Amino acid sequence: MSTEETSRFVRVRVEILVEVHDEDAVTKAALRRLAEDAEVADDERAHAESAVTEDTAEALAYLVDPFDLIGEVPGVELQQASWSSERVDYDPDSPEWDLDDDDVDEDEEADGDDARGIG
């Protein structure tokens, strides 16, 4: 493929599984970040404070920022990001959690690309 035919946009998919050892610390950190965020409107802040206080997964989602992952990478600009968090049952012995199995679309396999986009 020539440079003119190659898109400048790259989708980066990241899935992270964390174990929360101190829910109170996560909640407090999310509340601190909310208090420091001058761009959050008061009504939004009240809703967010309620959400992060009631659910540690929401608190964690508030603390994780995709811009932090890509913001300092030279030559790229974050165009769009979405993320969420949820509580899950984790069994490290289950094949469902095998990190060696890349989530590859059938179309990518047909093109000879692996999950990193390398043929």
Tell me the mean pLDDT in the region 19-40: 95
Structure tokens at 110: 């047909």
pLDDT of residue 10: 92
Question: How many domains does the chain fold into?
Answer: 1
* 70: enclosing H helix or E strand: helix 66-70
pLDDT of residue 19: 93
Does 118 fall in a domain?
Answer: no
pLDDT of residue 99: 66
pLDDT of residue 54: 96
Contact 33, 63 (CB under 8 A): yes
The 10s digit of each residue's pLDDT in 34-82 is 999 999 999 999 999 999 999 999 999 999 988 888 988 999 999 998 8
- Angle in degrees, CA 37, 40, 43, rounded to 5: 135
- Band (pLDDT 50/70/90 cuts) for residue 102 is low
Domain range for 55 = 3-87
- What proportion of the chain, given as a percentage, has pLDDT over 70? 79
SS3 labels along 42-55: HHHHHHHHHHHHHC
More confident residue, 87 or 97: 87
> CB 66: neighbour CB atoms within 10 A?
14
Nearest Cα neighbor of 85 from 39, 23, 32 is 23
Does 72 fall in a domain?
Answer: yes
Structure tokens at 7: 């898109």
